[in-house]
Amino acid sequence: MLTDQLTNILRSLGGFGPEVWLSVAFCALLVAELLLLRSDRRKARQVLAGLSIGAVLGAGIWAVLLPERGFLFLRLLFLDNQAIYFQVVIALSAVLVLLYEVLNPHPRGEGPGVRELPLEWYAILVAMTLGLFLMTMSVNLLSIYLSIELVSICSYLLTALTADRKASEGGIKYLLFGAISSAIMLYGMSFLYGMTGTLDLTAEAFGAELARQDAAVVAVAVLLTLAGLLFKLAGVPFHVWTPDAYEAAPVPVAAFFSVAPKAAAVLVLMRIVTALPVESSGGGATATALQTPLAVLALAGILIGNLSALRQTDAKRLLAYSTIAHAGFLLVGVVALNEAGFEAVLFYASTYMFISLAAFFLIDLLAQVNNTTLAISDFAGLGVKQPLLAVALTIVMLALTGLPPTVGFTAKLLSFSALYDAYQQRPDPWLLALFALGLLNALISLFYYLKIPFLLFFRPAPVKAESGKERKPSRATVWLAVGLVVPVVGLFLKPDWLLAMLASW
């Protein structure tokens, strides 16, 4: 009945408050930007940054305090504890990126390779946060597609927002690969709709009808559908855009790309995988049919990301390939298809936020010290000039490698423990290959992750760096970047704090 549908929509607004708040904030930021257009640029930037931080922080707090749970808008969205948890991770990462950008006194546009962020970036970042919030709640193929497109459009704009050739090239490459992945995703969704007759992942008919289909056909359809998610996750084979987009985008934008879209994408991926039936009496498709293809994709991402990073000379491109490898590590918990694996994904995504943001911020600050580019060779000798930043970056590089005493070791331990349990339940050789080669890649990553700490402490500064004009980062920016290292070590010493919260949720 139409009246029942209208009543459901009105009731759903009670659980849609953060998204409405972000939508209003986006419009308010556009109006505020027009009003501040003729005022002092520095003052306008501070006002817009303050409004953006307040909007995103308010949305995150509102999401935690929401009393409503369950389906919204005729089963288009589903609000549960996992969605709220990832919304908090996304909001926190956006707040940290905005704080870093507004606290950093470096006169952007004067240093080599440093480009000023236009004032429009605040509104676009809030709109992208809105899309990510919607992604975390999407359980309908239509809502999944629309939310991914909203995030993608904002990502293209943020990449190409600065007025230079490299940003334009990076944005165009990002757009082209995004269009291809969206087309493939829609093709896969059409297959799923044709086989099930519904777009709702939570409908009983969805799992029941897929259980009657051939396992190989369902696996192909689901993998095609996952194209858009792998694109946002920077996963193989939709990873090619990553190094060019990260290199073209300013550091705050690249840092946000490395964390927030991955968190939302991996949650939607888990929802799609768990929508498949666990067992099938007639030999039809089950969730285990996806284990082998996902294991191959995860292993390919780890290998391609680590091996490609070995020959990089630019720090941002190195971190870009690092995110490709870590996308593979995120998939390890999904491949396990058990409760321990999904908890490991939640733990990995939340702790990777601190590690990745700290890596981008610290590298940017060290590059600003000598007013140099982000070339890896330019970091030589900076450990003596900036010991606090250098030590913090060394800890972060150990965390990216997955070595103690950092939470990167704990995250990988949880993921591969869940994978080994899955292998004992289902002795698939690809699961064993992912387990063995995935752990072996920690040794490969040592060669490029520890390259920067080696240059910082054991190589003298080149002449051009010594003769360059030095800049002193602000104390607030330094403590923000160094403060992100505290949970990287603290959660290694006390992982139970986060694990207990995940178990209670």
Kindly report each contact of residues 220-223 with a partner whose C-beta sits within 8 Å and lies 24 or more positions away, as own/partner. 220/188, 220/191, 221/188, 221/191, 221/192, 221/195, 222/188, 222/192, 222/272, 222/273, 222/276, 222/290, 223/188, 223/290, 223/293
Statement: residue 112 has pLDDT above 50: no
Residues forming beta bridges with residue 138, ordered by sequence position: 77
Mean of pLDDT over the chain: 89
Q: SS3 for 23-44, per residue?
A: HHHHHHHHHHHHHCCCCCHHHH
- 355-402 tens-digit pLDDT: 999 999 999 998 887 776 778 888 888 888 889 999 999 999 999 999
Q: Which of 92-101, 137-146, 270-279, 339-348 has the lowest mean pLDDT?
A: 270-279
Statement: residue 339 has pLDDT above 60: yes
pLDDT band at 109 (very low <50, low <70, confident <90, very high): very low
d(CA 314, CA 393): 16
Sign of the Cα pseudo-torsion (33, 259, 273, 293, in order): positive
Other beta carbons less than 10 A from residue 499's beta carbon:
17
pLDDT band at 106 (very low <50, low <70, confident <90, very high): low
Question: How many CA within 13 A on the CB side of residue 69?
Answer: 9
pLDDT score recorded for residue 170: 87
pLDDT score recorded for residue 466: 47
**Contact by Cβ (8 Å): 209, 241:** no
Question: How many CA within 13 A on the CB side of residue 376?
Answer: 19
pLDDT score recorded for residue 151: 96
Residue 179 neighbours by CB under 8 Å, 6+ apart: none
Statement: residue 247 has pLDDT above 80: yes
Residue 134 neighbours by CB under 8 Å, 6+ apart: 19, 77, 143, 146, 147, 150
d(CA 55, CA 147): 19
Other beta carbons less than 10 A from residue 182's beta carbon:
17
d(CA 109, CA 246): 18
**Residues 74, 260, 201: CA angle, nearest 5 degrees:** 30
d(CA 185, CA 442): 32
**Contact by Cβ (8 Å): 329, 416:** no
Task: Tell me the C-alpha to C-alpha distance, in Å, between residue 191 and each of 97, 224, 282, 445.
Answer: 39, 9, 21, 39
> Which of the 8 DSSP states describes residue 329?
H
Average pLDDT of span 2-25: 90
pLDDT score recorded for residue 222: 92
Sign of the Cα pseudo-torsion (306, 329, 401, 432, in order): negative
Distance of CA 492 to the CA centre of its chain: 21
Q: Token match 């292993």: residue?
A: 299
Q: Token match 């009393």: residue?
A: 67
- 445-489 tens-digit pLDDT: 888 999 999 999 988 877 654 444 566 778 899 999 999 999 999
3 state DSSP class of 140 = strand
Q: Token match 């946002």: residue?
A: 232
Residues forming beta bridges with residue 215, ordered by sequence position: none
3 state DSSP class of 5 = helix
pLDDT band at 255 (very low <50, low <70, confident <90, very high): very high
Nearest in space to 235 (alpha carbons), one of 315, 151, 295 = 295
pLDDT score recorded for residue 463: 64
pLDDT band at 51 (very low <50, low <70, confident <90, very high): very high
Statement: residue 99 has pLDDT above 90: yes
Average pLDDT of span 332-349: 92
